Amino acid sequence: MLTTYTTFHLSPSKLNLFLECPKCFWLHMRRGIKRPEQPSSTLPRGMDNLIKIYFDKYRKLGKLPPEIEGKVRGRLLPDQDLLNEWRKTSKNSSPRFFDKELNAYLFGGLDECFVEGDYYIPVDYKTRGYNLKENSTSFFQTQLDIYTFLLEAEGFKTLKFAYLIYYIPYEVKERGETSFRVEVHKIETDPTRAYKIFKQAVACLRATIPRAHPKCKFCRWGEINKNLRYL
């Protein structure tokens, strides 16, 4: 049963769910009722792990991977142990932020981080099977806003921007060797926007069940089928 003492733990994926549909978010967090999941490929997750290992090799060399050299500011965060902690997605790992008034945590796991002087730049890798559409980067705005907010909450200075690095396969050669095109996108971030969404999401959870988002296909399916009678 929900009380004012209930502590919530929210992540970028949970806040994106809130923005997509407050009702689905409320049901997920308050009732444990999740949206139906479709089968998904494990390839993106596997590629994400391989890219991390690849970047870590260059970290030991004190260099940037050659495909992003000259396309980004700063250098790879040299502290591997700190980055390993930041890469965790556990609600108990850093970076995270606790709001006493809201009695709620905000946390998230970074893929990578660049440093330029005393400033920290969050970085996220993405793999895609096809070219980017015009609005592809906007989907990740909240995620990157949150990373900037969390770094600042931990006491690290930021430059209010982040990088999305896309690895897009374009050719498969003999013996399965695959070539990737790499695109680097600089995204301006706003930590105040992240905190505003965080507060709105917590307020939603402490209220009664909200209305569905008008474009939510999951809620629409439920409404259409709730009165079905089977013979």
Confidence of residue 128 (pLDDT cuts 50, 70, 90): confident
What was the pLDDT predicted at 34?
93
Interacting residues of 10 by C-beta distance below 8 A, sequence separation 6+: 104, 105, 106, 107, 198, 201, 202
CA 6 to chain centre: 24
Q: Please report the pLDDT score of residue 167 as a whole number.
A: 92
Residues with Cβ within 8 Å of 46's Cβ and at least 6 positions away in sequence, in order, are: none
Residue 89 pLDDT: 86
Rounded to 5°, angle at Cα 22 from 30 and 4 = 40
Q: Between vectors from CA 146 to CA 121 and to CA 133, what angle results, nearest 5°?
A: 80
pLDDT in tens, 52-61: 999 999 999 9
The two structure tokens encoding residue 219: 């809620």
Domain boundaries, the chain: 42-195
Q: What is the pLDDT of residues 142-165, one digit of tens each?
A: 999 999 999 999 999 999 999 999
Q: DSSP letter at 207?
A: S
- Cα separation, 159 vs 139, whole angstroms: 21
E strand intervals along the chain? 8-10, 75-76, 96-99, 104-107, 112-116, 119-127, 157-158, 161-172, 178-188
**What is the predicted pLDDT for the residue at 41?**
67
Q: What pTM, to 2 d.p., does this model score? A: 0.90
Give 154's Cβ-side CA count (13 Å radius).
Answer: 21
pLDDT at 38: 75
